[in-house]
Structure 1
Amino acid sequence: MSVEPDAVRARLLDTTFDRKFAVLFGTISVLVLALSAAVATGDWWPYSWIAADLILFAFRFLLMRQCEQARGRGTTGPLAALMAVGGAWSVIFGLGCYGCIASGHTALAVLAALNVAGVVGVVSSRNAATPRYAIFVMLVVSLPYVAGALFSPAPGMFVVGIQMPFYVAGVIIVLLQNHTINARMIRAELDNRDLAIKDALTGLPNRIFLQERLRDMCSELAAPAANGGNPFAVLSMDLDGFKQVNDRFGHAIGDMLLRKVAERLKRAFRPDDMVFRIGGDEFVILLPATSEIEATYLAKRVIEKISVPFDLGVGAAIRIGLSIGSAFAPVDGSDPEILLSCSDHALYEAKRTGKGRYWAHARAAN
């Protein structure tokens, strides 16, 4: 069983939290079976089973809600606790079904067999993200019933005990096949998504992803916080002298230069800053939680780094420059198009006044 990348595993885990109805239906089925056992046997253990099942149902439902909420925040949530409670439920369910077949009541044995088969089938379909855990649950649920059937004095139950492992083994094979198919489909979807939002030449996020991320950051501006939201800066950049390099040395060298520039840009900013190539020799940087002083420092630092000559193996060092214009949210606006327009305007002013400079929109507007 191969280890899936985190992104694939996260998508697979989505199926673990979105089927609360299956848990509810399973609880109702178990309660019917346990009540039937209580009436048929007159023993105390079915009532203990009912109480344990109701308590575990409450815990499972609560933990699934917490996992769903955590997923909405981009975190994992109490998945380990959810799996532990599910494992405890499986053990109690298996023991209860063993009690049903050990009671000698044919109707209880049939009902227990139907419940075991149902649980094994449901686990196989909804736990593709965690196949090892699913196999554990299926075995814990079914093996007590198999043992009870093999040693039951009732006529024909021995055959059921022999047949049940083959059924469980078949479902496990289907589970593993579904896991492989689902993981392959998700990987393909993520690969296509990656191709759609990345610039093929530099590997940087492209204009499509810039627009998505900018929309998300603008929506967070209204989020309640001590500072009234989550302010950020937008830097629009344009290379100075790139066209001359392209004309003199050709597009292959121009492409190599763009890749080198992308590498320097990524190294020049902080880990949380996002660098985008939006076309040609144009780049945009998003600086979350950044003041104007910080943005000015970062912009001037990257201008210095890009001005260092590039050695591209053409016999002479290649020199280019960088002009930068900035806009700040929410001061200059809280709409993606407005912020990009403001930073473009500031970039125009930086190039108009001599290139190789940084210009803030607030200055450009004056």
Structure 2
Amino acid sequence: MLAVGAAVVTGDRWPYAWMAADLVLFAVRFLLIRECERARKHGGTGPLAGLMAAGGSWSVIFGLGCYGCVVSGDMALAVLAALNVAGVVGVASSRNAATPRYAIFVMLAVSLPFLVGALFSPAPGMSIVGFQVPFYVAGVIIVLLQNHAINARMIRAELDNRDLAIKDVLTGLPNRIFLQEKLRGMCSELAAPAANGGRPFAVLSMDLDGFKHVNDRFGHAVGDMLLRKVAERLKRTFRPGDVVFRIGGDEFVILLPDTSEIEATYLAKRAIEKISVPFELGVGTAIPIGLSIGSAFAPADGGEPELLLTWSDHALYEAKRTGKAVTGRMSGPRTDDHSDYWGLLPHPAIQYPA
């Protein structure tokens, strides 16, 4: 509207160039925003750099347009330009508080051309307005920095609260709440049928063998230390993309994305070997424990979080019942009662010093 007013009042061509550039940048920014929104739905960021560059270009063109309005000598255009500059600078202090350096650039790109134009404007009294502009912009920048600090504190508090909600306090591993969130997300990515682009994954349910004996003999402090050591070993045992959860007591769950049954079996075997190495906990003797594992595979055993956890738990109980370290669902056709299991590895002997 300001550009239209300038075209009507001045009769010059530059306002039309301003309007054309504004419309082009509007279209570009609109498309970039859509790309960013689309990327965010898939966990990405999109062309944020391009969006900020387009916004910066708009600020420069807007500032130059306001300069043209002020130096035209028309008081109505000068007042409208001043109002627009004040509005953009004020909005940037809150809307762009998350990116303060970018916001300051927008403020300066908009206000400096207006400042120069006001100082040399033939309109009476505009030079006084020009002298006031630096103080106004400086004050709004201070407000911007305060808004940035407030936003940063709110974001940190929100992240801290989320960490408390989804992390196990003792081991620092993700807890049952985050397991449900992660598992729902992985199940939602499964294709039907799986052969057409599905992302199969494995769920391993784990339970320590002999942990209660350690707690009873050496106390809960040593038991807590043992759980932390187990958590550290499990994190080192599995791949960077795998996620280790502690869901309570001495129970752990591992999610293995994009993993076949053969790969899951190998990783389970390696976990048992690592945990079977006795732990040095400062009690005068190394403490050996065992590890039992049950597994389920998506989509072969189902595509719902509760169902996969149920089958992996059943397999874990079967491992303990039969004395095998690992059990899982059979390959091939499933039975209605899901009672068939495969097993491997004799359970490591658990012996405690006298």
Same fold, TM-score > 0.5, yes or no:
yes
The answer to whether the 8 Å contact 1:276/1:285 transfers is yes
Whichever structure has more helix as a proportion of its residues is 1
- Whole-angstrom distance in 2 between the partners of 1:178 and 1:204: 34
Work out the CA distance in 1 between the residues paired with 2:188 and 2:47.
28
- Report what 1:96 is aligned to: 65
Paired residue for 2:339? 365
Partner-residue secondary structure (3-state), 1:222: coil
Q: Provide the alpha-carbon RMSD of the alignment.
A: 1.4
Specify the code of the residue in structure 1 equivalent to 2:49. A
Question: SS state of the match for residue 141, structure 1?
Answer: helix
Task: Select between 240-249 and 69-78 the one with higher mean Cα deviation.
Answer: 69-78
* 2: CA distance, partners of 1:149 / 1:316: 83
Counterpart position of 1:240? 209
Q: Say if 2:310 is the partner of 1:341.
A: yes
- For residue 283 of structure 2, give the secondary structure of its aligned residue in structure 1: coil
Distance 1:131 1:223, change over 3 A: farther
Task: Report matched runs for 1:279-298 at 5 Å.
Answer: 279-298=248-267
Report what 2:300 is aligned to.
331
Match of 1:322 in 2: 291
2:184 aligned partner:
215
2:45 counterpart of 1:76: yes
How high is the TM-score relative to the length of structure 2? 0.92
In 1, the alpha carbon distance for the partners of 2:31 and 2:287 equals: 62
Q: Which moved more, 1:167-176 or 1:215-224?
A: 215-224
Deviation track 1:313-361 (CA, whole Å, cap 9, x = no partner) reads 1111101000000011111111111111100100011011115x11003
Q: Alpha-carbon deviations, 1:245-292, whole Å to 9, x = none?
A: 111100011100010000110111011111000011000001111111
Deviation, 1:362, is: 2.8
5+ residue gaps, structure 2, are 332-337, 341-354
3-state SS, counterpart of residue 201 of structure 1: coil
Residue in structure 2 matching 1:85, options 54, 57, 66: 54
- Corresponding letter in the other structure for 1:358: V
CA contact (8 A) 2:194 2:299 kept: no
- Is 158-167 or 230-239 further displaced after alignment? 158-167
- Alpha-carbon displacement from aligned partner over 1:80-101 (angstroms, at most 9, x marks no partner): 1111111111111111111111
CA–CA distance in 1 between the matches of 2:103 and 2:44? 22
Q: Give the count of matched residue pairs.
A: 334
2:5, 2:77 within 8 Å by CA — same for their partners in 1?
A: yes
Structure 1 equivalent of residue 23 of structure 2 = 54
Alignment-derived partner of residue 260 in structure 1: 229
1:112 to 81, 84, 87: 81
What residue number does 1:180 align with? Answer: 149
Identity of aligned residues (%): 81
Partner secondary structure for residue 245 of structure 2: strand
| Per-residue deviation, residues 282-318 of structure 1 (Å, max 9, x unmatched) | 0000111111111111111111111111111111110
2:319 to 343, 350, 354: 350
TM-score, normalised with respect to structure 1: 0.89
